[in-house]
Amino acid sequence: MIDREVLEETFKLAVDYFDGIESRHVGAVKSVKELRKDLVMNLPENGEDPMEVIRDMATKVDGGLVASPGPRYFGFVTGGAVPASLAADWLTSVWDQNGVLSISSPASGVVEEIVSDWILDLLGLPHTASVGLVTGCQMANFTCLAAARHEVLRSRGWDVEKQGLTGAPKVHIIVGAEAHATLINALKMLGFGTDNITTLPVDDQGRMSLSELEKIIKSCSGPIIVNAQAGNVNTGAFDHCGEIINIAHRHGAWVHVDGAFGLWGRITPILAEETKGIEKADSWATDAHKWLNVPYDSGIAIVANEAAHRASMALKAPYYIAAPEEVRDPSQWVPESSRRARGFALYGAIRSLGREGVREIVERNCRQARLMASLLAEDPNVEILNEVILNQILVRFLPFEGNDAGYFTRQVTSLVQEEGTCWAGGSRWNDMDAMRISVSNWATTDEDIRISAQAIRRVLSRLIQ
């Protein structure tokens, strides 16, 4: 049996990591080269003592860890892990359930049923929609679009799961120019190919043009899938989803919404204008490991048409003893067979936060994003490039003698990362280099925002002097 001591020692290592997370250098302090030097070894011929392995690994990887669960990590769109969710995730590893079928883990199946209902309720989506718990929004986009592919072809008499795509009616795929890379990847994996994608122009915040959509969609005959976005990864902007859905549905199109983090905006009346009408879409992809602050990996695929969802994902084999109709087999809704029992971590997060707790995180992070933007903008060498309506901020550092703004912005970004008070990454917006700041962590306080804004401005003023 597993040695109790190993788990207890590991518990101490984990707790020490969390105790130090606020004071540690936020970015990694060791380079890949240094990490390789410390870690690379020949394949051991003989096994080693488990506790020694864990202790040594923890010591050697430490400098290469990024304090992304901590309160001053603003890279990508990340989020930390609320305590009950992290704890449930630990137990998920200990329980080591196979979340494939109800019979392989009845508890996992039932908990997935419960959190699926809670998620629909939190996001204000139809209670009849079906939910699949996947690895992340990449696979959520894939799952939703597989259901879309099934349905738009089925309604024209084509069974894509049986007949494949060769010879199928041409499916018109419409995206905005700011569609996320993972959405395009999902389309590629589903056999659509980038040549078959129509890309519509967007406005200065990245929102799809409605007049162009009207124009293009009128010219399409046959099946259509329109892809809208809730929460642009750079600006945080929302496509005009309600209007997009109305236009698309008038032409019989399926509308998919990629809302990896933005969909959580549905929880607050403050964002009612941005998120209105989203509930009328046909499918929605989102993440729990971003704004809901569940540990990786946790994405959610939601489909209004349960039959299309099931038909595109159903797994059949003689030894898969399917549960009776009324019992959930988690793998029937995702592209996976054996899988992590992802429901437990979601259960921990949602039950410990409640609707109010989730709303509080979203509202606080949005307010903190505006606070960060206004503190930075006090500096005359700072320009905020986006309308800060959500949790994303794009910052450009203005040129001074002998520098162009692009070079200077990249330089400030890398020096901020090196300084270590906080971490923000680089991005490009409207052909400009920018620093991108994402406020998505439950643990971030207003004081963290102030400390981080000061650190960024300190780096900036040192460079200008």
Ligand X SMILES: *Cc1c(COP(=O)(O)O)cnc(C)c1O
Q: Residues in the site for ligand X, rule: CB under 6 A?
A: 77, 136-138, 180, 182, 231, 233, 258, 260-261, 287, 299
Which of 231, 335 has the CB closer to ligand X? 231
Q: At its nearest, how many Å lie between ligand X and the CB of residue 220?
A: 24
Token pair of 37 as six digits: 């030097």
DSSP-derived secondary structure letter, 220: -
- Residue 178 or 329: the one with the smaller Cβ distance to ligand X is 178
Question: Which structure tokens are listed for 177?
Answer: 């120019």
138 vs 331, which CB is nearer to ligand X? 138
The percent of the chain in helix, strand and coil, each rounded to the nearest 5, is 50, 15, 40
SS3 321: coil
Q: How would DSSP label each residue in 166-177?
A: TTPPPPEEEEET
**Phi, psi (deg, nearest 5) at residue 277:** 85, -10
H and E: helices and strands count for the chain: 15, 11
Question: Of the two residues 109 and 136, which places its CB atom closer to ligand X in the complex?
Answer: 136
Residue 422 · residue 456 · CB < 8 Å: yes
Q: Report the SS3 class of residue 130.
A: strand
| 159 three-class SS | coil
Q: Which is nearer to ligand X, 79 or 99 (CB)?
A: 79
Q: Is 299 helix (H, G, I), strand (E, B) or coil?
A: strand
Q: Between 185 and 337, whose beta carbon lies closer to ligand X? A: 185
Q: How far is the CB of 137 from ligand X (least distance, A)?
A: 3
User: How near is the Cβ of 14 to ligand X at its closest, in Å?
Assistant: 24
Please give the full DSSP string across 372-434, using - where no structure is assigned.
HHHHHHTSTTEEE-S--SSSEEEEEEPP-TT--HHHHHHHHHHHHHHH-S-B-EEEEETTEEE
> End-to-end distance of the chain based on CA atoms, in angstroms?
63
Cβ 366 to ligand X shortest distance, Å:
16
Check residue 267 and report its DSSP letter: G
Distance between CA atoms of residues 458 and 452, nearest Å: 10
Supply the minimum distance, in Å, between the C-beta of residue 400 and ligand X.
33
> What single-letter DSSP state applies at residue 1?
-
CB of 202: closest distance to ligand X in angstroms? Answer: 14
Minimum Å distance from CB 261 to ligand X? 6
Closest approach of ligand X to the CB of residue 27, in Å:
20
Min CB(169)–ligand X separation in Å: 28
Q: Taking a C-beta distance cutoff of 8 angstroms, is the pair 351, 84 a contact?
A: yes
CA atoms within 13 A on the CB side of 258: 31
Nearest approach, Cβ of residue 281 and ligand X (Å)? 15
Tell me whether residue 312 or residue 392 sits nearer to ligand X (CB atom): 392
Nearer to ligand X, 78 or 421 (CB): 78
The nearer residue to ligand X, 261 or 429, going by C-beta atoms, is 261
Nearest to 83 by CA among 439, 363, 345: 345
Of the pair 200, 233, the CB lying nearest ligand X is at: 233
Q: In the complex, what is the shortest distance from the CB of residue 426 to ligand X, in angstroms, rounded to a whole number?
A: 16
Q: Is 77 or 101 the residue whose CB approaches ligand X more closely?
A: 77
* Sign of the dihedral defined by the CA atoms of residues 333, 337, 342, 347, in that order: positive
Measuring CA to CA, which residue among 18, 21, 35 is closest to residue 420? Answer: 21
DSSP annotation string for 47-65: ---HHHHHHHHHHHHGGG-
CA 9 – CA 58 distance, rounded (Å): 12
Owner of token pair 């809901």:
292
**One-letter amino acid of 134:** V
Classify the C-alpha dihedral 434-439-443-447 as positive or negative: positive
C-beta of 335: minimal distance to ligand X in Å? 13
Q: Give 102 or 141: the residue with its C-beta nearer to ligand X.
A: 141
